Amino acid sequence: MRGRSLGGELVTVGWYTYRHEDDEVVLTGHSNAMVLATTDTGYGRSLEAMFARTFNALWNDSQTVELSEVSARGAPSKTARP
């Protein structure tokens, strides 16, 4: 999942998808759709709750990797194709 909570009034949520290619996992997300909703509706509150649950779970997971560590690894051997 990818998303943003924007000031508590808007939430945007999308997803990453993966495929196997040449014995590697290729992850894409930049070209996938995203959903934007206001949090003053039932659907928006549901999206906000899903985003918050996922964000908090990842933030608090001891195996979540810091951005600096990801950056230090460098670019993957293959680039994602749309």
What are the boundaries of each domain within the chain? 2-73
pTM: 0.67
Contact 17, 32 (CB under 8 A): yes
CA nearest neighbour of 36 among 7, 59, 73, 3: 3
Q: Residue 4: how many CA atoms within 13 Å on its side-chain side?
A: 5
pLDDT digits (tens, 9 = 90+) for 9-23: 999 999 888 889 888
**Who wins on pLDDT, 62 or 69?**
62
Burial class (CB in 10 A: 0-12, 13-18, 19+), 38: middle
| pLDDT given for residue 8 in this prediction | 85
How many Cβ atoms sit within 10 Å of the Cβ of residue 39?
19
- The per-residue pLDDT for 14 is 92
Q: What is the pLDDT of residue 80?
A: 47
